[in-house]
Structure formats: C-alpha cells, structure tokens
Structure 1
Amino acid sequence: METTKANAAFLCNFEVMQILQQLKDNTQKKHKREGSLATVTYETVHFLQNSDCKNQSAQAIQKFLEAMKQFKLTKIEKLMMVNTPPRTELEIQLIVQESEERLSEEEVKKIIDLANEFLPPSDSI
C-alpha cells in the first residue's frame, strides 16, 4: 500500500472505521490474509469500535459540522471534536488553541451542547 497524495483529505475516526471494516470484510471473503495488514486492521477496528465513533453516523457528523460553522474554528479543531467530542470546558481548551480569546463562555457551552446532541457518548467510556 502506498500513499499517493499525502494530506489530500482528513478522515475522522468514523470514516477510518468504515474503510477498515470494508477492507476486513473483503479480506475475509477472499480468504487471503496478509499477516500484518490483517492484524493492524483488526486491532484498529477493535479500538475504534470501543470509542465514541461507534455511536456516530455520517449524517450526525455532517449535522454537527454544519452547526459548527457559526464558530471560527480550524478544520483540524473540528476534526478533533468529531473524533473526541468535548464534554467539558477543559476538553475544549485542549482542542481549541487560545480558546479563552477565541470563544466566549456561551460559545463553549453551545459547542458542548452540540457535541452531546449530534455525537452521543459511548456507553463503554
């Protein structure tokens, strides 16, 4: 496997999980297993299925990103919020660079509400 265009697009954990599940299913159907690829695929899917992305859907992510347009956040900050939805003010401070200057307290609370609405927490965490 070779990377043809580095950073052509950013993928969230949900998208990675979907791609790897398809790869895993196709590999199992063909009964061809490349040892290390099969192991990495299995372990990554297993990890992602135990994270918040297991409860996400493409539609929910799209709605969340639409709602986030009102805030002046970078693509990477939004991606990090999709991958690890913020549940507290501290988590927003860790995700958003200079959050105290860029976001008001009301905006921080609104982001947390949007994350809880569109990106529900995982039961296992």
Structure 2
Amino acid sequence: MEVVSSNRATLSNYEVLKHLQKIKDSKKKHKGQLATITYETIRYLENTPCKDQTSENIQQCLKELAPFNLNKTEKLMIINSPPTTALEIQLMIEESEERLTEEQVGQVLEIVMKYFPHVVKEKPEENDAEETE
C-alpha cells in the first residue's frame, strides 16, 4: 500500500468520534480487534472536548479564524484541543509571536470560547495553594 497524498485527509477528533459511533451503531457487528479499538477510541474521545462539539460550531469557528492565515494543521490543533490561554496558542501556532499580535491572540481566544464554551479554563493548583497560605 502506498500513500498518495499524506495531507489530503486529516480528520478532527469530532469527525473520528462520529465515524466510530456509526461503526459501533451499525447492524453489522464487528468482532475482535476492530471492536476493541472502536470501543477504546470512543471511550477516550468521549473524555475530550470533541464530545460537545458540533459540525456547525466547527465550521463557523474555522470561518472566523480565516483572517489569521493559520495553516491546516494549526486549525486542526485548535479544533481538537481548544486553547484557553495565550501560551497554548503559542504552542499551537508556529512562530505565533511574529505572525500574531497580542490583540489577535485575544481575538483567537474569544473566537474559540464563543464556539466551544464547554472548554473550561483550568486554574493551576499551585496558585490556589499560594492563595490559601
């Protein structure tokens, strides 16, 4: 088997979850490794942000992110693991300091929170411990 175009079909976690759920719900029952892999992958993906995403939210989010000239991989990472901090954006977007201003980073965060409000910004436990002392 030869890969003709490796970047032609990248799927988001949401798309993978929906596809695997269709396989699981089909009348044709799969046995062995496929059933195990399907079950384990669904179980994993149901504990990620993709479980609360919709195709409409993803499409709208991508439309609003278009002016930022992000590449396909960067958009995919934002959809799969919606960032909640500027640091996460720096890790997802190559050379973000040169490509995006602080204002644009804030806009990206606002867009992500608009379409994926279920993603909760986690507070580091170290800060909580310092405040109680």
Name the TM tier (shorter chain). Answer: 0.7 to 0.9
Aligned residue for 2:39? 42
How much does 1:93 deviate? 0.6
Query: Quick one: percent identity of the two aligned structures?
Result: 46
Runs of 4+ in 1 over 2 A off after TM superposition: 3-8, 120-123
Please point out which of 73, 82, 87 is paired with 1:85. Answer: 82
Larger Rg: 2
**Distance between the aligned counterparts of 2:104 and 2:7, measured in 1?**
30
3-state SS of the aligned residue for 2:10? coil
Structure ranking higher on relative contact order (CA contacts 8 Å, 6+ apart): 1
Are 1:21 and 1:45, in contact at CA under 8 Å, matched by a contact in 2?
Answer: yes
Once the two structures are superposed, residues 20-60 of structure 1 have per-residue CA deviations (whole angstroms, 9 ceiling, x without a partner) of 0001111xx23x33211101100111111110001100000
List runs of 5+ in structure 1 lacking aligned partners.
Answer: none
| 1:114 equivalent in structure 2 | 111
Residue type of the partner of 1:86?
P
TM-score, structure 2 length as denominator?
A: 0.83
Residue 24, structure 1, aligned to residue 24, structure 2: yes
**Match of residue 105 from structure 1:** 102
Counterpart Cα distance in 1 of 2:105 and 2:119 = 21
Q: Number of residues paired by the alignment?
A: 120
Q: Is the 8 A contact 1:56 1:120 kept in 2?
A: no
Tell me how far apart the structure 2 counterparts of residues 113 and 122 of structure 1 sit (CA, whole Å). Answer: 12
**Equivalent position of 1:15 in the other structure:** 15
- RMSD value, Cα: 2.0
